[in-house]
Structure 1
Amino acid sequence: MSRVPQGPSRRLLLAGALAAVSAAATGCSADSQASASGGSKQLRIGYFAFPSGDLIVKNRKLLEKALPDHRISWIKFDSGASVNQAFIGKSLDIAALGSSPFARGVSGGSPIPYKVAWILDVAGENEALIARKATGVSDVAGLKGRKVATPFASTSHYSLLAALETAGLKPSDVELIDLQPQPILAAWQRGDIDAAYVWLPTLDELRTTGTQLTSSKEIGAAGKPTLDLAVVSDDLIARDPQAIVAWRKAEAEALRLIRSDPDGTVKAVSAELGISAADAEAQLAQGVFLTPEQVLSPDWLGTDGTPGKLLTYVTDTGRFLADQKQIDAAPSEADVRKAFYLKGLSDVLK
């Protein structure tokens, strides 16, 4: 049983960035190259095929309407690790990013040049740990000696480590395997793994032949919440802060639409993910979506000059990852605070 290796060094990430981003940005290369060469009217936005306000903003073209003089490129990613690589390679302006890979990104002597500027959602039942029914495993402790897959450096990875710790297991007590969501499903179907911690929509497919052992909702309630954040590059902050204002307002509108127009929200998510309306509705019900007012409250992101509890959550996440030998050293609270972009945040509510 092998202990999870520490994440690759920033140097190795940088070396792999161009290949990773090239694959992710197929069909958007012209816009990406223009932006990388200094075009101030480009926005390259990384998103996940996962129910969130991002999908509503994309589907309804809210950002294109707000910024008609900008060319918007939406680039799909599979994990926070690949998003981090893209920011290192200066190939993104804005992106969705889990709180765990964000904590990794701001650790070390050369933090990734980005800042958190919004909260997309709080992980709930949409990320969970599932064991194959054929294994007979019914609780987390029963995973000892088993093969467990998760995308390394993701919020699911962080939550899995937290679940193991709570159950009295060390990472070395199981065989942890680094797989992205689709390869997890394939390995599950072949019987190559015994359990997996992953997110929707792969999660729902595993549930059909698996037993849920815990979820990010439970782990969060026990003191280790994970979130889907949205980060902006330092370069975008310097060259086009008004684009960030427009983007935040579009994301705030999307959060309001989730509540005020549930049917339209389901339709947008269904169209973006290529799933039925019933499946889209079920997936949306598993997430925890804040109101714009909650995002700006002291309980979460905070507002201009005054970070909320997210600062503590990210700092605690970094400390936990360091304790688990996932990163070399935990970022200090001061280091995490430097990676918060709160300027103009209160304008969202005007």
Structure 2
Amino acid sequence: MLAAVLGGAATLAVAGCSSSGDAAAGQKKRLRIGYFAFPSGDLLVKNRGLLEKALPDHTISWVKFDSGAGVNQAFIGKSLEIAALGSSPFARGVSGSSPIPYKVAFILDVAGENEALVARKGTGITTVAGLKGKKVATPFASTSHYSLLAALEEAGLKASDVELLDLQPQPILAAWERGDIDAAYVWLPTLDELRETGTQLTSSKEIGEGGRPTLDLAVVSEELIARDPEAIETWRKVEAEGLRLLKSDPEGSAKSIAAELGISLADAKAQLAQGVFLTPEEVASADWLGTEGKPGKLAAYLADTGKFLAGQKQIDAAPSTAALRDALYLKGLPDGLK
């Protein structure tokens, strides 16, 4: 996902937090967490202050991002310890000769109907194949970008058969309303606004069922793993609580999401219904993240993503499955989610 930090938030977060040296001097330890304004258990954790309650000895800053390339840049700049990150930008981040020093420690959700490809009704486009020669926008280096390329390939089109435009969600909406683009692949909540005057051509749920799933992951810096593994353990338990709350308290969860996104309760419920949220037990299962000493299928999914991106010349070379297994932080699983 390609994006800048909204409103210079990353700079403010860095300036406003104590250093690890401060922590050693008796001040609070710091955690700078990157998040997206996207319906999830992670947003529920933020809204309810669950992590702040669980880690009162830490100064916690939540830094809002538009999409994952900005998160990658923030980790390169050492201004984040933990962040939400799509599977496609993560595969990019660990590719090449200088991989970003972070690891996947949790799975926030599996992309479903909450990411989709939509064409403006005025264009008359009703199939992916009908996009040939048209202007299609998506945030480059995002899970949506990856899914768009997969959808084009499935429809017999190359990326060069359409005019791809790199736009973030809000600029996509503005370009859509002006009639400057014919279609867009993007996520909620912008997606729902496009659907009002658009025709959905495919979704990440359909593409995932076809063998190319995308996920929203949570990554932790290797520096934090070395310095403060107990904080990661607590954070992961809180994220697991967020997933359980989505299922055990759907009404209360929707209220929290509505408050965070500034939308109605009905819209929050509808948006949450479009996501695929695993249980904590599923997160740590062999089908997904896996357990300590036994990486799950996530590494293979990420390897397939890397191979596809390399084939599309989006990255120079795909990371190996072995490298991706090493990029999973499994210490304490599955017990650490109880």
- TM-score (normalised: structure 2): 0.95
Matches within 5 A, 1:283-298: 283-298=271-286
Aligned to 1:30: 15
Q: What residue is the counterpart of 1:169 in the other structure?
A: 157
1:222-274 Cα shifts (integer Å, max 9, x gaps): 00000000000011000000000000000000100001001110111011111
C-alpha separation between the residues in 1 aligned to 2:308 and 2:23? 39
- Match for residue 89 of structure 1? 77
In structure 1, the partner of 2:45 is: 57
Q: Which moved more, 1:170-179 or 1:339-348?
A: 339-348
Instruction: Answer whether contact 1:36 1:91 (CA < 8 A) is retained.
Output: no
Letter of the 1:106 counterpart? V
Q: CA deviation at 1:29?
A: 4.0
The offset of 1:37, in angstroms, is 6.3
Deviations 1:292-332 (A, max 9, x none): 00001101111111111101000000000000000001111
Specify the code of the residue in structure 1 equivalent to 2:15.
Answer: A
Q: Distance in 2 between matches of 1:170 and 1:295?
A: 34
Does structure 1 residue 207 correspond to structure 2 residue 195? Answer: yes
Do the aligned partners of 2:5 and 2:65 also contact (CA within 8 Å) in 1? Answer: no
- The answer to whether the Cα contact below 8 Å between 2:105 and 2:329 also exists between their aligned partners in 1 is yes
Instruction: Letter of the 2:171 partner, please give it.
Output: P
Match of 1:118, as an amino acid? F
What residue is the counterpart of 2:170 in the other structure? 182
Identity %: 78
- What does residue 228 of structure 1 align with? 216
User: Which residues in structure 2 correspond to 1:116-127 (within 5 Å)?
Assistant: 116-127=104-115
Cα deviation, residue 25, structure 1: 2.6
Cα gap change, 1:333/1:162 in structure 2, threshold over 3 Å: closer, same or farther?
Answer: same
Q: Secondary structure at the match of 1:289?
A: coil
Distance in 2 between residues matched to 1:281 and 1:314, nearest whole Å: 30
Tell me which of 44, 52, 59 is aligned to 1:71.
Answer: 59
Question: Which residue identity does 1:308 align to in structure 2?
Answer: G
1:109 aligns with 2:97: yes
Letter in 1 for 2:323: D
Distance in 1 separating the partners of 2:6 and 2:244: 32
Match for residue 287 of structure 2 among 284, 288, 299: 299
Name the counterpart of 1:348. Answer: 336
The aligned counterpart of 1:139 is: 127
The CA distance in 2 between the partners of 1:210 and 1:90, in whole Å, is 40
Instruction: Return the offset for 1:338.
Output: 1.7
1:325-350 Cα shifts (integer Å, max 9, x gaps): 00001111111112111011223244
Equivalent-residue separation in structure 2 for 1:180 and 1:76 (angstroms): 14
Equivalent residue runs for 1:195-274 within 5 Å: 195-274=183-262
1:79 counterpart letter in structure 2: S
Q: CA offset at residue 108 of structure 1?
A: 0.2
Deviation at 1:60, TM superposition (A): 1.2
Q: Is the 8 A contact 1:31 1:42 kept in 2?
A: no
Q: How far, CA to CA, are the matches of 1:115 and 1:178 in structure 2?
A: 27
What is the one-letter code of the residue matched to 1:253? Answer: E
Paired AA for residue 217 in structure 1? K
Give CA-to-partner distance per residue, 1:141-187, whole Å, 9 cap, x none.
00000000000000000000000000000000000000000000000
Output the CA distance in 1 between the equivalents of 2:203 and 2:46: 28
1:318 to 306, 309, 323: 306
1:332: which partner in 2? 320
User: Following TM superposition, by how much is the alpha carbon of 1:36 offset from its aligned partner in structure 2, in angstroms?
Assistant: 7.0
C-alpha RMSD of the superposition = 1.7
Give the match for residue 14 of structure 1.
Answer: none
Distance 1:20 1:71 in 2: 20
- Contact 1:21–1:85, Cα closer than 8 Å, also in 2: no
Deviations 1:110-159 (A, max 9, x none): 00010000000000000000000000000000000000000000000000
Q: Following superposition, which runs of at least 4 residues in structure 1 exceed 4 angstroms of deviation?
A: 19-22, 36-40
| Contact 2:6–2:64 (8 Å) recurs in 1 | no
Asked whether the 8 Å contact 1:123–1:287 carries over to 2, the reply is yes
Please tell me whether the aligned partners of residues 20 and 85 of structure 1 are also in contact (alpha carbons under 8 angstroms): no
Decide whether the 8 Å contact of 2:258 with 2:268 is kept in 1: yes
Match of 1:128 in 2: 116
User: CA offset at residue 31 of structure 1?
Assistant: 3.2
1:30 CA drift (Å): 3.4
